[in-house]
Structure 1
């Protein structure tokens, strides 16, 4: 993760430097057709480059704090690490559940309702409630009950 921190800090420094150069260029060289000074700052590009620098700085700060909070060397930073070293346990996923498919179909009906007519979205919402309840309580009834 150390390389990621340096990468985002580099992007932040580059975007800030590009912002300074862009602003100076607009103040002194751009804006007129006869080569004279422009005298004004172009606000859109200046603000966008500054926000790019700030966002890269935020991400670099967050990644650095996460790296320091880990307390050890991550598998990504070790040259002798294998792929399985960085493979965490993500949790339990139901292997034979049909409820996610029904929930996706209800979301599709909901979005389709905004295009065709709002009444279709209400049908999708009702199906979504049934699918959510079925998915949450899947292991409390039937074959998988515990």
Structure 2
């Protein structure tokens, strides 16, 4: 995890330099703002990864002598069958379409997004997936 933190911090430095160069060269405010926001996001992710790396044990990617098989094993739990991402995708697509076409579409997208979030959060509290 240390290496990912360093990679993001170096990436943030690169994005900052490119944002300054782009801003001076093009004098275009939207792209310059987007690059400065990307710089901020890279710093946040890099700081989080570097901060978290101090709290967890060294992983295989932190060891120069490690093999690929050293990180083998269970990665985590993923829902085997969930329809909620589809609802969130449809609601998000409608919401973004509302920005482009008209804000009135948000009245239709907001309930779909809320139902998708509600279903995803409480997916394992009901039905066959209910935990005892």
Give the TM-score range, shorter chain.
0.5 to 0.7
Instruction: Give the RMSD, CA atoms, in angstroms.
Output: 3.8
Query: What is the rounded CA distance, in whole Å, between the counterparts of 1:49 and 1:84 in structure 2?
Result: 37
TM-score by length of 2: 0.56
Show structure 1 runs of 5+ residues with no match. 27-40, 94-99, 115-120, 141-146
Bigger Cα Rg: 1
Q: 1:92 to 1:52 in 2, by over 3 A?
A: closer
More relative contact order, 1 or 2 (CA 8 Å, 6+ apart) = 2
TM-score by length of 1: 0.52
Q: 1:47 to 1:74 in 2, by over 3 A?
A: same
Show structure 2 runs of 5+ residues with no match. 92-111
Query: What is the rounded CA distance, in whole Å, between the counterparts of 2:3 and 2:29 in structure 1?
Result: 33
Cα deviation digits, residues 80-134 of structure 1 (max 9, x gap):
33445324545789xxxxxx55x54x987x68xx9xxxxxx9xxx9xx89x9422
Aligned to 2:3: 3
